[in-house]
């Protein structure tokens, strides 16, 4: 099924960093689609939204040419969950491969590697999540202490790539824009894990997810959220709201170029094979969507063809 999506485009030591350039020293162009919001004061100008040292891509060197704002991207997606492909296409990663398949800082301003076991990551000061909240070392701390090492959220512990012979790294909050992971032995898999099509996310939008975490949320409010969601417990709710790769929670702040504005359409199962009235109502609420019901033996699914709106966040 074709889904139409309207988008708005916006010691041995190794040190990796692009040529530094401040937002004040270059001319940043605000996408025309945001012009009315900027004039009305509802959105800060791009010079404020951008990090102090944004990543600069040399198009001449890469044999490319500047594009244009706006336009429409049409993608063939067979299933609702394929909205995750926008994360693959956006390719917003802490580090990324360049055209020569060499690792380069992307979201990060720079990084340092010592002895293949100590990784110091430097964030871009002034970088923000898609909702305007600062992206900082706290987002890395929250992931490591409150997610990866929380037995209710991660019963088996941190991802295997974060372990070297079963050893966890020492995490350091150096300052608000610097974090460090240190192992006693080299971890050659760490950086490549951050680059993949399905990357290792070692940060979380802490300011958003704390409301679903029992360490931070007020018990009464958290219990109400769990009950409303229909999930078993707070951990199940937190994990459901926190999936940057699946891209299925429009309220989850992101660092990707595109931001989902509607939940992906999902099928509904019924014993009679008929589409339920509740399902019909939930889907016709999608802005600009045209929905239809496809009933099969023992199940039914509703599909929607509508607008997918997004904006550039980095």
Q: 302 forms bridges with which residues in the sheet?
A: 293
Rounded mean pLDDT, 196-208: 94
If one compares 15 and 34, the residue with the highest pLDDT of the two is 34
Does residue 312 form part of some domain? no
- For 145-167, how does the pLDDT look when each residue is reduced to its tens digit (9 = 90+)? 999 999 999 999 999 999 999 99
Q: Where are the beta strands (DSSP E) in the chain?
A: 2-6, 13-16, 72-76, 95-97, 103-105, 108-114, 118-123, 170-175, 178-182, 290-296, 299-305
Query: Is the pLDDT reported for residue 206 higher than 90?
Result: yes
Q: 5 forms bridges with which residues in the sheet?
A: 73
Cα–Cα distance, 255 to 123 (Å, whole number)? 13
Instruction: Enter the pTM of the model.
Output: 0.78
If one compares 109 and 2, the residue with the highest pLDDT of the two is 109
Helix, strand or coil, per DSSP, at residue 221: helix
Yes or no: say if 283 and 302 are a contact pair by the CB < 8 Å rule. yes
Does residue 44 form part of some domain? yes
Does residue 222 form part of some domain? no
Does residue 313 form part of some domain? no
Rounded (5°) CA angle 180-107-192? 65
Query: Is the pLDDT reported for residue 305 higher than 50?
Result: no
Query: Is the pLDDT reported for residue 259 higher than 50?
Result: yes
Q: Which domain holds residue 70?
A: 2-204+242-305
Query: Is the pLDDT reported for residue 272 higher than 50?
Result: no
pLDDT tier at 266, thresholds 50, 70, 90: low
Does residue 227 form part of some domain? no
pLDDT tier at 26, thresholds 50, 70, 90: confident
**Which residues, other chains included, contact 195 with Cβ-Cβ below 8 Å and sequence gap of 6+?**
93, 95, 96, 97, 103
Name the range with the highest mean pLDDT among 31-45, 87-101, 161-175.
161-175
Q: What is the CA radius of gyration of the chain?
A: 21
Domains of the chain: total:
1
What mean pLDDT, rounded, does the chain reach?
80
If one compares 184 and 58, the residue with the highest pLDDT of the two is 184
Rounded mean pLDDT, 204-213: 98
CB count, 10 Å around CB of 114? 15
pLDDT of residue 24: 60
Rounded mean pLDDT, 249-260: 90
If one compares 213 and 289, the residue with the highest pLDDT of the two is 213
Provide DSSP, 120-179: EEEEPTT-B-TTSPBP-HHHHHIIIIIIIT-TTT-TT-S-GGG-BTTBPPEEEEEETTEE
Tokens 């791009």 found at: 46
Return the H-helix or E-strand segment holding 62. helix 59-62
Q: Which long-range contacts (CB under 8 A, 24 or more apart) does 76-85 make?
A: 76/2, 76/3, 77/1, 77/2, 77/3, 78/1, 80/264, 80/265, 80/266, 80/267, 80/303, 81/246, 81/248, 81/264, 83/246, 83/247, 83/248, 83/260, 83/264, 83/308, 84/245, 84/246, 84/247, 84/248
> Encoding tokens for residue 273?
């094979």
pLDDT of residue 145: 98
Does residue 67 form part of some domain? yes
Q: What b-and-e string marks burial along 148-186, b requiring 16 or more CB atoms within 10 Å of the CB? A: bebeebeeeebeeebebeeeebebbeeeebbbbbebeee
- For 67-105, how does the pLDDT look when each residue is reduced to its tens digit (9 = 90+)? 888 877 777 777 777 888 888 888 899 999 988 889 999
Does residue 237 form part of some domain? no
pLDDT of residue 15: 52
pLDDT tier at 22, thresholds 50, 70, 90: low
Query: Is the pLDDT reported for residue 191 higher than 90?
Result: yes
Provide DSSP, 30-53: --GGGHHHHHTTSS--HHHHS-SS
pLDDT of residue 34: 87
Query: Is the pLDDT reported for residue 291 higher than 70?
Result: no
- For 98-139, how does the pLDDT look when each residue is reduced to its tens digit (9 = 90+)? 888 899 999 999 999 999 999 999 999 999 999 999 999 999
CATH number at residue 41: 3.90.76.10
Rounded mean pLDDT, 50-64: 82
Q: How far is CA 168 from CA 95, 135, 163, in A?
A: 21, 24, 5
Yes or no: say if 45 and 31 are a contact pair by the CB < 8 Å rule. no
pLDDT of residue 16: 61
Does residue 230 form part of some domain? no
If one compares 47 and 18, the residue with the highest pLDDT of the two is 47
């Amino acid at each position: 099924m074709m889904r139409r999506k309207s988008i708005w485009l916006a010691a041995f030591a190794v040190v990796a960093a692009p040529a530094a350039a401040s937002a004040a020293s270059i001319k940043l162009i605000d996408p025309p689609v945001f012009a009315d919001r900027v004039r009305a004061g509802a959105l800060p100008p791009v010079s404020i939204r951008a990090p102090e040292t944004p990543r600069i891509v040399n198009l001449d060197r890469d044999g490319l040419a500047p594009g244009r704002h706006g336009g429409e991207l049409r993608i063939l997606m067979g299933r609702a969950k394929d909205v995750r492909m926008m994360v693959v296409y956006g390719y917003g990663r802490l580090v990324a491969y360049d055209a020569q398949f060499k690792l380069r800082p992307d979201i990060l301003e720079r990084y340092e590697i010592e002895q293949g076991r100590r990784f110091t990551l430097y964030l871009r000061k002034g970088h923000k999540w898609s909702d305007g909240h600062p992206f900082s070392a706290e987002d890395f701390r929250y992931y490591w202490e409150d997610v990866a090492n929380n037995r209710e959220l991660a019963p088996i512990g941190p991802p295997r790539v974060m372990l070297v012979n079963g050893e966890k790294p020492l995490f350091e909050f150096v300052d608000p824009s610097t974090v460090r992971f240190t192992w006693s032995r080299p971890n050659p898999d760490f950086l490549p894990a951050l680059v993949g099509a399905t990357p290792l996310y070692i940060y979380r939008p802490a300011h958003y997810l704390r409301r679903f975490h029992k360490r931070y949320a007020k018990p009464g409010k958290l219990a109400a959220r769990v009950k409303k969601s229909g999930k078993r417990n707070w951990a199940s709710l937190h994990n459901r709201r926190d999936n940057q790769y699946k891209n299925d929670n429009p309220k989850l702040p992101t660092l990707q170029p595109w931001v989902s504005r509607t939940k992906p359409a999902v099928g509904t199962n019924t014993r009679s094979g008929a589409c339920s009235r509740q399902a019909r109502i939930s889907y016709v609420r999608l802005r600009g969507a045209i929905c239809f019901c496809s009933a099969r033996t023992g199940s039914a699914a509703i599909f929607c063809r509508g607008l997918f709106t997004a904006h550039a966040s980095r």
